[in-house]
Amino acid sequence: MTNNSVTEQLTRLGQQIEHASFAIVDEEAGAHHYGADEWTLVRRMIHATADFEFNGLTEFHPDASAVGVDAILRGKALIADVDMICVGVSKPRLAHFGAQAHQFISDDDVIADAKAQDSTRAVMAIRKAHHLGLLDGAIVGIGNAPTALLELLRLVEQENVRPALVIGMPVGFVSAAESKDLLAEQKKIPWIITRGRKGGSTLVVAVVHALLALAEQAEKSVR
């Protein structure tokens, strides 16, 4: 396994534990149909959750890994549906590539608009990101709110919004599976999803960290 200097644990012991964990995941997961970069993402999702069902539940647009790495290398923003993702993703790792994470779900104006329009904060937060011009070219990570993903898909279809990549992994029982199915059916933007009800912010964080690791490897290869 390639050692990275920016996107790994900060201590030797931490790195050893993480590498050992990845090796266990590789051994216990067995056969899979993913490409090398895709498996880097899925393996980290399993590592973050100890749930081997993501070997199979996770699906990729053919260009997903490549466009995600490219967006990171170009310092594009990470737009999240909830603060948990922004807290979970390493700020120093993002900063190495000149990127920042943003979320707006707890902003006063978002809350007021959601109440006034009888909508959800997640919908209004995605709209605010759009109004601020942050969605085009960004990585959008949705791990909690299906309504955020549905609103993003509306913006893609009706207002020509073009994120670089959507990590669509909302968890839950109302519209979670359906919103992910709709994301996978559209042809305009690359995506990564988990089929069905399973998902969550932890998974989005894991995917972003794996993309950051791949980006560092890519960065080293051109030096």
Q: Percent of the chain scored above 90 by pLDDT?
A: 87
Higher-pLDDT residue of 30, 135: 135
Arithmetic mean of pLDDT, 185-202: 97
Distance of CA 146 to the CA centre of its chain: 14
The domains found in the chain, sorted by start residue, are 56-221 (3.40.50.10230)
Residue 11: what pLDDT? Answer: 79
pLDDT band, very low/low/confident/very high, at 54 (cuts 50, 70, 90): very high
Phi, psi (rounded to 5 degrees) for 155: -65, -40
pLDDT of residue 6: 79
Which among 47, 61, 96, 209 is annotated as catalytic? 47
**Known active-site residue 32:** no
Mean local confidence (pLDDT), 119-141: 98
Across residues 103-115, what is the average pLDDT? 97
Mean pLDDT of the chain: 94
**How far apart are the C-alpha atoms of 170 and 153, rounded to whole Å?**
14
* Alpha helix positions (H), the chain: 12-29, 36-49, 54-57, 64-73, 83-88, 91-96, 108-116, 121-131, 146-159, 176-185, 201-221
Mean pLDDT for the stretch of residues 45-72: 97
Q: Which amino acid is at 81?
A: D
pLDDT at residue 2 greater than cutoff 60: no
What's the rounded mean pLDDT across residues 57-85? 97
- Contacts of residue 141, defined as CB under 8 A and 6 or more positions apart, other chains included, come to 78, 79, 80, 81, 85, 167, 169, 204, 205, 207, 208
Taking residues 10-30, what's their average pLDDT?
87
